[in-house]
Amino acid sequence: MSFVFYLLAALTVAGAFAAMLLKNTVHCALALTVAFAGLALLFLNLDAQFAGFAQILVYIGAVAILVVFAILLTRGSETPRDGVFSRTWFVGLLIAAGVFATLSWAVLQSVRVLPHETAVPTVTVLQIGNALVGRFVLPLEIVALLLTAATIGAVIVAMHEKEGQQ
Amino acid sequence: MTPLASYLLVAALLFSIGLAGALTRRNAILVLIGIELMLNAANLNLIAFWRYGPHPELLTGMMFAIFSIAVAAAEAAVGLGLVIQIYRHAHTTDLDAMNRMKG
Taking the CA atoms of residue A128, residue A130, residue A132 and residue A134 in that order, the dihedral angle to the nearest 10 degrees is -150
B26 alpha-carbon distance from chain centroid: 17
B101 touches chain A (CB under 8 A): no
d(CA B58, CA B42): 19
Half-sphere exposure of A152 (CA within 13 A, CB side): 5
Partner-chain residue, chosen from B1, B18, B72, that has the shortest CB–CB distance to A16: B18
pTM of the model as a whole? 0.91
Residue ranges of the domains in chain A? 1-80, 122-166
Q: A interface mutation test: which of B63, B82, B89, B95 has the most A CBs within 10 A? A: B63
Return the pLDDT at B46. 95
- Chain A CB contacts of B57 under 8 Å are 121, 123, 127
Candidate CATH numbers 1.20.120.420, 3.40.50.10420, 2.40.50.140, 1.10.287.3510; the one for domain B3-97? 1.10.287.3510
Return the pLDDT at A105. 95
Partner-chain residue, chosen from B8, B73, B83, that has the shortest CB–CB distance to A74: B83
Say yes or no: ipTM exceeds 0.90: yes
B65 touches chain A (CB under 8 A): yes
Angle at A72 between CA A66 and CA A75, to 5 degrees: 135
B86 by DSSP, 3-state: which? Answer: helix
* pLDDT tens column, A110-127: 988 888 777 888 888 899
Phi/psi at A97 (nearest 5 deg)?
-65, -40
Confidence at B99, pLDDT banded by 50, 70, 90: confident
Q: Using a pLDDT cut of 90, give the percent of chain A over it.
A: 65
* Residues forming a β-bridge with B25: A85
- Chain A CB contacts of B21 under 8 Å are 19-20
* A1-80 under CATH 1.20.1260.10, yes or no: no
